[in-house]
A = this chain, B = another copy of it.
């Protein structure tokens, strides 16, 4: 038995990460693809993404980890446990960004995991189970769809072949891009995960508005996305009396308000958004003949989401009749709600309490790699505030003390799952 084990055991709950080191790593990684406005543009599987990956791999090796790359380019940095036959206790996120992305989205989850490893090394703590820090390929979906590609392939949400065949706007495939940056591994392994944790900036305003440091994420909202086309009759704005119009934009505008109402009727967690809307012919003095629009409905409960779907379809049918237009509703995306694992969620909540951080239960309105991982492993997420709730934007910002706090909560939760070796 290692003679340092007793002191490490005693010190485990007192163990703290190095917040300054975490911050410096975030800034160093953000230098790769840095934009003039202070953000980061490092699209998935570009040369810049390759440089970012190389830096992470070098840091992980310097921290004593072994590196494994799978066939979709996911990077697994492994710190051995006392019993390496145990399923790994895993954490991670992604380091690809939006075209006008920030320094923290995804990168924080990966580098918080690395900081956990470094802190365990500093304290000479050996865990019973191995720990793995993962970089998932192409979470953002800006260059290649579908989004959350690496974690999606890993959990079997879609096939490796499907993912490798996707092409960007220049016709370059995922398979080709992986080879170009030397991150095409041999196979995709069968998931064998003891627990998965992901730390992430909230990307919304709830924590900041509540002046709270730790978001204890209960799960992710289910999503139903639609393409809706409203077809009326285009006509001259001047000669056509109000009563004889079949104005597609008038009907579409009413639908925007109804989508909002559908969500408000199911407060507090339901959401309804029309993000995209295009008008044809979009001419100042022509009554619009056609509108194409998106509808995005989200809820924490699948029955509620289905009820919102029915409400949407009823509303469209009623409005089509009232306005003399046709409304075509096509569902294009469905993600069921994904609750996280109660025991692990409780570990996050109690960890924050022990460490003295304010905490509140929140839901994830957005998709994250953790949402896929929850299909194959016990999973939980930790949110920390970001400035003004802004993300996917070069002005994305977060406070060092909040990032450090989230990382300490992550460390304690992972230690509880991985267990300190006796």
Q: A204-B241, A237-B296, A239-B204 are in contact. Are A277 and B285 (CB under 8 A)?
A: no
Across-interface contacts of A288 in B (CB, < 8 A): 274-275
Which among A223, A225, A285 has the greatest number of chain B C-beta atoms within 10 A? A285
A391 to B238, CA, bound (A): 12
A239 to B, closest residue via Cβ? B204
Q: A254-B257, A276-B283 are in contact. Are A271 and B241 (CB under 8 A)?
A: yes
Q: Is the CB of A267 closer than 8 A to any CB of chain B?
A: yes
Q: A237-B275, A279-B276 are in contact. Are A242 and B257 (CB under 8 A)?
A: no
Q: Is the CB of A47 closer than 8 A to any CB of chain B?
A: no
Q: Which of B274, B282, B365 contacts A238 (CB 8 A)?
A: B365
A246-278 CB contact bits vs B (8 Å, 1 = yes)?
A: 010110111011001001100111111111111
Q: A253-B256, A278-B282 are in contact. Are A365 and B267 (CB under 8 A)?
A: no
Q: Which of B205, B244, B273, B285 contacts A275 (CB 8 A)?
A: B285
Q: Is the CB of A286 closer than 8 A to any CB of chain B?
A: yes
B264 in contact with A242 (CB, 8 Å) = yes
Q: A257-B254, A273-B287, A274-B249 are in contact. Are A204 and B282 (CB under 8 A)?
A: no
Across-interface contacts of A177 in B (CB, < 8 A): none
Across-interface contacts of A203 in B (CB, < 8 A): 236, 238-239
Q: A253-B254, A267-B242 are in contact. Are A237 and B285 (CB under 8 A)?
A: no
Q: For window 204-242 of chain A, which residues contact chain B by CB distance below 8 Å?
A: 204-206, 209, 221, 223, 225, 235-242
Q: Which of B205, B238, B263, B276 contacts A235 (CB 8 A)?
A: B205
Q: A249-B256, A256-B249, A365-B240 are in contact. Are A235 and B204 (CB under 8 A)?
A: yes
B364 in contact with A238 (CB, 8 Å) = yes
A383 to B, closest residue via Cβ? B239
Query: Which A residues form the contact surface with B (CB < 8 A)?
Result: 202-206, 209, 221, 223, 225, 235-244, 247, 249-250, 252-254, 256-257, 260, 263-264, 267-279, 282-288, 294, 296, 298, 364-367, 389-392
